[in-house]
A and B are shown apart, each in its own frame.
Chain A
């Protein structure tokens, strides 16, 4: 079974609007971390935001927020006020205690921001 599922291969959003990128995960660990990365066409993976499994508050970093619903095992990324520079591939990832610290990545969602 997939540990990280990103069901949206591609998404479009109008500039200045908000967009939600979906991520669901599968783990039996009590302690784990969830991450979102952005990969522009240049190829570099850029860390965006982190959520720990014990964090009660949803993580926020500037225009990025993580909608963490633990019971549903979802960790959706919300980008507010989209900009043209947000066009990129976005990856959700998880690191589990029992997986010897290895991270698992989803297949990614390609976001295109339209002017």
Chain B
């Protein structure tokens, strides 16, 4: 079974703090993703990574950065947390992107989520 873990289930930070959200997967997946989920807005992609040291912006990258130094670990960084970054953050991984969608290898497996509150 694929296992995706996130460093914290709940996190409370203060405005202006630097925040690290860690995600680790144990299935040697090539692709990793960070989403945020807000009521009424669904899931929105922040960043994703096809491979080590590679990253691509998603739909809402502003205010965030990422790091992928090892294949199994993908970190989301809030350089200076703001109250509008209070949200549920979900990490996901998938086996590989074959360059052609329509393969079951595209299936994303999610971690349990981190509920971040910025005061």
Contact = CB atoms under 8 A, between A and B. Distances in A.
Interface residues of B, number: 30
Q: How large is the interface on A (under 10, 10 to 19, 20 to 34, 35 or more residues)?
A: 20 to 34
Given A45-B92, A102-B58, A97 B99 contact: yes
Residue from A43, A44, A46, A107 with most neighbouring chain B CB atoms (10 Å) = A43
For B43, B45, B97, B99, the residue with the greatest tally of chain A CB atoms inside 10 Å of its CB is B43
B35 to A, nearest CB: 8
Interface of A: 29, 31-33, 35, 37, 42-47, 50, 52-54, 91, 93, 95-97, 100-103, 105-108
Interface of B: 31, 33, 40, 42-43, 45, 48, 50, 56, 58-59, 88, 90, 92, 97, 99-104, 106-113, 115
